[in-house]
């Protein structure tokens, strides 16, 4: 669900997630990103507002799944866009803008975890997604599965949540994840394999209990 950008949100904070999983990534038009960056560099400040609209929700979601906290994710999202505004002239156009801004978000999220010294308690409520099916039984099953995955994910390490989020929720390619995490693709695949294995084990345990 798109984030609100209305003027009534004077603080500029992103709303808490209205569904368990982020929707499929829709920011795939690299040409549009390049145009917006070019406009901003040429003094068009309205272009930055468009960048915020395009990336506000994905950045918030990525931060939330690392931090498990609505408030912390909102803070990180604000910091990310402040840093983007300061550093946009440093952006190297040979890399995807998506990867560049996500890397800032990941670094800020992990930095916040380190400053805390430990992971904060999990936020109590996350709304489950509304199923499109008209079948009530199907809706119930979808909600049950989503709740089970949510419970499992939130017990995993921040690094596991991060790599699973980037691959399955943000729909990043292996190359994009490698750029975001500053590792090679082989390492990405290895981390994903191990994280998926741990998630499967957790789901089995939750199902049995």
Q: CA 140, CA 152: separation in Å to the nearest integer?
A: 18
pLDDT tens profile 48-77: 999 999 999 989 988 988 888 899 999 999
Say if pTM beats, i.e. exceeds, 0.85. Answer: no
Higher pLDDT, 20 or 64: 64
Residue-level pLDDT at 27: 46
The residue among 79, 73, 78 whose CA lies nearest residue 9 is 78
**Per-domain boundaries in the chain:** 30-122+133-208
Helix 174-181 / helix 185-208 crossing angle, nearest 10 deg: 100
**What kind of fold does domain 30-122+133-208 have according to CATH?**
Rna Polymerase Sigma Factor; Chain: A (1.10.1740)
Q: CA 91, CA 97: separation in Å to the nearest integer?
A: 8
pLDDT tens profile 25-36: 444 567 899 999
């Amino acid at each position: 669900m798109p984030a609100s950008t209305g003027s009534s949100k004077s603080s500029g904070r992103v709303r808490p997630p209205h569904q368990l999983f982020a929707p499929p990534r829709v920011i795939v038009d690299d040409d549009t990103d390049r145009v917006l960056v070019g406009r901003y560099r040429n003094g068009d400040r309205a272009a930055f507002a468009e960048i915020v609209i395009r990336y506000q929700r994905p950045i918030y979601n990525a931060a939330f799944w690392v931090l498990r906290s609505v408030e912390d994710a909102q803070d990180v999202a604000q910091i990310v866009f402040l840093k983007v505004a300061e550093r946009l002239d440093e952006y190297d156009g040979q890399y995807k803008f998506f990867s560049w801004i996500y890397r800032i978000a990941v670094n800020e999220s992990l930095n916040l975890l380190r400053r805390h010294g430990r992971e904060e308690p999990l936020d109590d409520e996350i709304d489950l997604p509304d199923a499109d099916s008209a079948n009530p039984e199907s809706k119930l099953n979808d909600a049950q599965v989503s709740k089970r995955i949510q419970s499992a994910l939130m017990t995993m390490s921040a690094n596991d949540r991060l790599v699973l989020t980037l691959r399955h929720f943000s729909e990043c390619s292996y190359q994009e994840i490698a750029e975001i995490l500053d590792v090679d693709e082989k390492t990405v695949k290895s981390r994903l394999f191990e994280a998926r294995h741990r998630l499967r084990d957790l789901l089995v345990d939750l199902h049995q209990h």
